[in-house]
Amino acid sequence: MQILHSKILGKGQPLVILHGFLGMSDNWKTLGSKYAENGFEVHLIDQRNHGKSFHSEEFNYDVLSNDVITYMEHHNVESAMVMGHSMGGKTAMQMATSHPKKVTKLIVADIAPKYYPPHHDFIFNGLSHLDFNTISDRREADDELAKHIKDRGIRQFLLKNLYWVEKERLGFRFNFDVLKNRMEEIGENIFPSAVYNGPTLFLRGDRSEYIQPNDYDEIKRHFPIAIIETIDKAGHWLHAENPKQFFEKSDAFLNS
């Protein structure tokens, strides 16, 4: 049995945080520390094929959800508040609807319970041009990536995944081949009949297109008592673009 890698911060009520596609637990370290200071035992998790967690050919939301259940059982966490961003939000939704007794509260950051067509091609195209036989440091990797991905923020986010595989040889922490071949899975929806009746908060970025007003009925169908709130001056990476407001709204919900 393989257990997901995590960083555990603080003491108190368990709060599980799930990163998005091509992300890792480190993306949430700053906010995770703030929740920990406010009385939560924060579990910053690397999902399979990401960060320091195990690699596997199997990759879908049912499997990702069960990974977290197995992780909680391993760490003797009976139930937890669960927060997920983007892909992590889909994992969290799947988990809450499949194992409602394990999830006391749910926060979903900038993703709706619907199908999204694959849209990461340009990222994988850029990443596929990184030749680690010739690239010797992060600056060179960024220079090469910049030819294909103009947005510096996206490049910095992706480059966090570089690490020294061995002396003087860089590589990706994420499972490049499996994730590239499973892009269709990333956009999949949770089960059509899935319902979670527990307290739920959806946070959307006001500059993001991921959650639109016409998605609200679908959200309420799966999560009948969901609250939907907007984070100002933020796109899809709303927790990084407006961390202050993201923390205030999420922390108020967790403590309500």
CA distance 187 to 131: 28
How many CB atoms are closer than 10 A to CB 19?
A: 24
Q: How many CB atoms lie within 10 A of CB 88?
A: 28
Token pair listed for 61: 């939301």
Quote the DSSP letter at residue 235. -
Query: Catalytic residue numbers?
Result: 86, 177, 236
- Tokens describing residue 42: 């924060």
Determine the straight-line distance between the first and last CA of the chain, rounded to whole angstroms.
36
CA distance 53 to 55: 7
Q: Please state the length of the chain.
A: 256
